[in-house]
Amino acid sequence: MIVKFSRHAKRRIKLYNIPELTILDILESTKIPQGEYEIIKDIAGFKFPLKIVICIKENVVTVITAYPLKKRKEERRENEGIL
């Protein structure tokens, strides 16, 4: 598996001080078929879960973005009155 980071992902990783090794560990522990996916994981040392958006094509994983998810989807819906 080859992992590439988009320019946007590199900037977010630097902005939020997310170690690339942490993202690589998450990707290695997650078995995902080809396509586009969002991965949300609680990681020790981070106040909020990390959200990683990836695209997988022909054994190449491209990290599109990665950032701390400050509100979970359920919390956003509650705040917007959607639930």
Biggest CA pair distance of the chain: 42
Question: What is the tens place of the pLDDT at every residue in 14-48?
Answer: 999 999 999 999 999 888 889 999 999 999 888 99
Hey, how many other C-beta atoms are within 10 angstroms of the C-beta on 14? Answer: 10
Residue 83 included in any domain: no
Which pTM was predicted? Answer: 0.80
Give the integer Cα–Cα distance in Å for 61 and 30: 12
Residue 64 belongs to some domain of the structure:
yes
7 φ, ψ (degrees, to nearest 5): -60, -40
What CATH number does residue 21 fall under?
A: 3.30.2310
* Enclosing domain of residue 47: 2-70
Instruction: Label residue 82 by pLDDT band (50, 70, 90).
Output: very low
Say how many domains are in the chain.
Answer: 1
For residue range 52-65, list pLDDT tens digits in order.
Answer: 999 999 989 999 99
